[in-house]
Structure 1
Amino acid sequence: MSIQSITHVEYHCADADATAAGFCADYGFTSIPPEPGHLATTESQGARTLLLRQGGIRFLLRSATDPAHPVARYVDRHGEGVAALALGCTDPQAALERAERHGARVLDRAGGLVAGFGDTSLRFVAEQPAADHDEPAGRLLDALDHAAICVPAGELAPAVRFCEAALGMHRIFGEYIEVGEQAMDSSVVQSVSGEVTFTLIEPDTSRRPGQIDTFLADHEGAGVQHLAFRTGDIATAVRTVRGRGVEFLTTPGTYYDALAERLGGTAIPVDTLRELDILVDQDHGGQLFQLFARSTHPRRTFFLELIERQGAGTFGTANIKALYEAVERQRAAASV
């Protein structure tokens, strides 16, 4: 029953066609016909569904054509966002039964859907080889690296236990981050396959409210804060999508001034990292490079990340703090 991958992301939006056009124009996704038996082939009446692909990433975009449809209710409450993560399993039925034994609430038994984090559900599906679709030359993105999920204060430890017991994942990393008078706690859980990774985050409500508190208030509960797309060449990916109009969060020059002392050498030249605002960190396996797109979501409750891993399997603590600070600068600027 083990979980092998995230086969697709179910993203609910106000206009699937417009959202698809943005993903295709900005990040190079292509619209593909759904594979046999895919959820997109059995869409319910009252919703528009499109399937996008790039590398191993699949986005199932859904928008309501009927205002009474569940997609419309989701968007009305949360704004556009990730409504479900589909987990490819060797035995979906056994995976659902295990999750149910460990307290997961079944939402749609036939569809393999259980409650996950707030209104972000988990769907157990069969792990199948990807269909062969032609992609345009110069593909930028390879896979979905991880999903970052915000949960209310006090729910981080139960969420980790749920992932371990119900999903068979294990905790690989954790960090408590303080930025000024704000703080948050995080844990990273991962499937045995190594292909499904959730970064779980909760605010420290004993400190001054910050961006995680703001997310939970504006999103009206737990949910996916960002998705990270893995690339084999982050410098090229950033230059390409920036040229298409995508804006990224900036990094102070002092961050790069301290890199030599903190890390020694970097696999990508520091001048390139500085030019493109790319963050770099390392763990026992190697280095990782990250950059976070500026949120264009009306509620600022969802954004995207680009990440390149050169051996690193976890997350560096300096990058988590740098991300927090970058998002906080954007939040502060938006409130002026």
Structure 2
Amino acid sequence: MDFTSVDHVELYVGDAMLSAYFFCHALGFRMVAHAAPESGLEGRRSIVLKQGSSRLVVTSALGATGPVAEYVREHGDGVKDVAFATPDAAGAFAEAVRRGAKPVMEPVTYEGAGGRVVKATIAGPGDLVHSFIQRDGATSGFLPDVYLPLETPPMGEELFTALDHVALCLERGTLMDAASFYRDVLGFEQTHEENVRTEYSGMNSRVMQTAGGRICFPMQEPYTGTRRGQLEDFLVAHGGSGVQHLAFLAPDIAHAVDALRRSGMKILDAPPGYYESLESRLGDLGGFGREALQERNILMDRDAWGHLLQVFTRTQHARRTLFFEVIQRQAARGFGGANIQALYEAKERETLRATR
């Protein structure tokens, strides 16, 4: 099981063009390829978006039936596939199935003027799937002979260099089974554990990563409290387990936050009093001023290697499910353990505000 990176993340959405416009206008992506029935993609339309090394695919159905339409009816717009790059897609697929994975698509080869790509797919938690993508040589196309190049001018500046991690929200009681799946079937390692409790609810979480941390899944399940928490609200709105947020790596988080706000994105407020103890908790702030952080609701933590800075957007989705994280790492390797409680409380306040 040799996975080198996340090859792409595919979202099933109600309207691919509207979703592509959102990602380009609000988050700095650009459209680089597309596919539809006229190019050989039956029953759906897909647009490939790129920024830095991260690649997103937004796909919508062209009819009322079929897997894309059924997914959107069940979950709303959401992440369907987190695909892994590998030098041997067929071998990884066979080994994963041998270890107990449920096969979704046997290896298929796409070959044309744009190169050669092998793709195979297995089932993950909930309705999430994982495709294995093998790209031989300098493949210029997303899937040769299916996806066509798309030249569009950028709608905004690039803000991110890479996808940092993909966070999963899981049904209560399934966290350990999911962790075992990524460990025993896909060869990931558990690197972090956090358990959060608030006045009303809480969560248990694990972080599963490939060796070297090139692919990372923070995963959380709700803890039973006195009130339904924000994870349970996600699970109800989404219709089960799924991807709760995508985290993008930024070289300058303050600049990224300013650009996101100008494009209309809302940032989650930091918990009351969060910045009052920042210097006493962290000491050196890595060259950042407390006022600049507070003005932008940027959270900060540090580990043995360096500083970590994070902000979280408010969800833009009708069901209030998927949202985004912007993260800057000053050599830090962790996930802001001291900020996980802050994020949970911020999301809980947002949920309470939305229900009033």
Whole-Å Cα distance in 1 between the matches of residues 168 and 135 of structure 2?
23
Secondary structure, in 3 states, of the residue corresponding to 2:124? strand
Which residue of the partner structure matches residue 42 of structure 2?
45
Secondary structure, in 3 states, of the residue corresponding to 2:101? coil
Which residue of the partner structure matches residue 332 of structure 2?
312
1:4·1:193 contact (CA, 8 Å) conserved in 2?
A: no
Q: Confirm or deny that 1:258 pairs with 2:287.
A: no
Q: Confirm or deny that 1:112 pairs with 2:111.
A: no
Whole-Å Cα distance in 1 between the matches of residues 307 and 226 of structure 2?
32
Which residue of the partner structure matches residue 192 of structure 2?
173
| Aligned length, in residue pairs | 333
Secondary structure, in 3 states, of the residue corresponding to 1:117? coil
Which residue of the partner structure matches residue 20 of structure 1?
20
Partner AA of 1:11 in structure 2: L
2:246 to 222, 227, 244: 227
Pair 1:232–1:153, CA change in 2 (3 A): same
Which residue of the partner structure matches residue 149 of structure 1?
168
Which residue of the partner structure matches residue 182 of structure 1?
201
2:36·2:46 contact (CA, 8 Å) conserved in 1?
A: no
TM-score w.r.t. the length of structure 1 is 0.93
Aligned pairs (5 A) from 1:1-336: 1-33=1-33, 44-110=41-107, 111-126=119-134, 138-205=157-224, 208-267=227-286, 268-336=288-356
Listed one character per residue, the Cα deviations across residues 53-86 of structure 1 (whole Å, up to 9, x for unaligned) are 0001111110011111210000000000000111
Partner AA of 2:257 in structure 1: V
Whole-Å Cα distance in 2 between the matches of residues 294 and 270 of structure 1?
22
- 5+ residue gaps, structure 2: 108-118, 142-150
- 5+ residue gaps, structure 1: none
How high is the sequence identity, in percent, across the aligned residues? 38
Listed one character per residue, the Cα deviations across residues 72-112 of structure 1 (whole Å, up to 9, x for unaligned) are 00000000000011111121112112221222100111341
Whole-Å Cα distance in 2 between the matches of residues 33 and 300 of structure 1?
28
1:40·1:50 contact (CA, 8 Å) conserved in 2?
A: no
Partner AA of 2:165 in structure 1: H
Whole-Å Cα distance in 1 between the matches of residues 38 and 99 of structure 2?
31
1:118·1:223 contact (CA, 8 Å) conserved in 2?
A: yes
Residue 130 of structure 1 and its aligned partner are, at CA, apart by 8.0
Residue 253 of structure 1 and its aligned partner are, at CA, apart by 4.8
Q: Which moved more, 1:74-83 or 1:193-202?
A: 193-202
TM-score w.r.t. the length of structure 2 is 0.88
Listed one character per residue, the Cα deviations across residues 118-153 of structure 1 (whole Å, up to 9, x for unaligned) are 001111111566859999695211111001101111
Residue 179 of structure 1 and its aligned partner are, at CA, apart by 1.2
Secondary structure, in 3 states, of the residue corresponding to 1:185? strand
Q: Which moved more, 1:22-31 or 1:94-103?
A: 94-103
Whole-Å Cα distance in 2 between the matches of residues 253 and 204 of structure 1?
23
Q: Which moved more, 1:141-150 or 1:203-212?
A: 203-212
Whole-Å Cα distance in 2 between the matches of residues 311 and 89 of structure 1?
26
Whole-Å Cα distance in 1 between the matches of residues 206 and 38 of structure 2?
36
Whole-Å Cα distance in 1 between the matches of residues 200 and 17 of structure 2?
42
Partner AA of 1:261 in structure 2: S
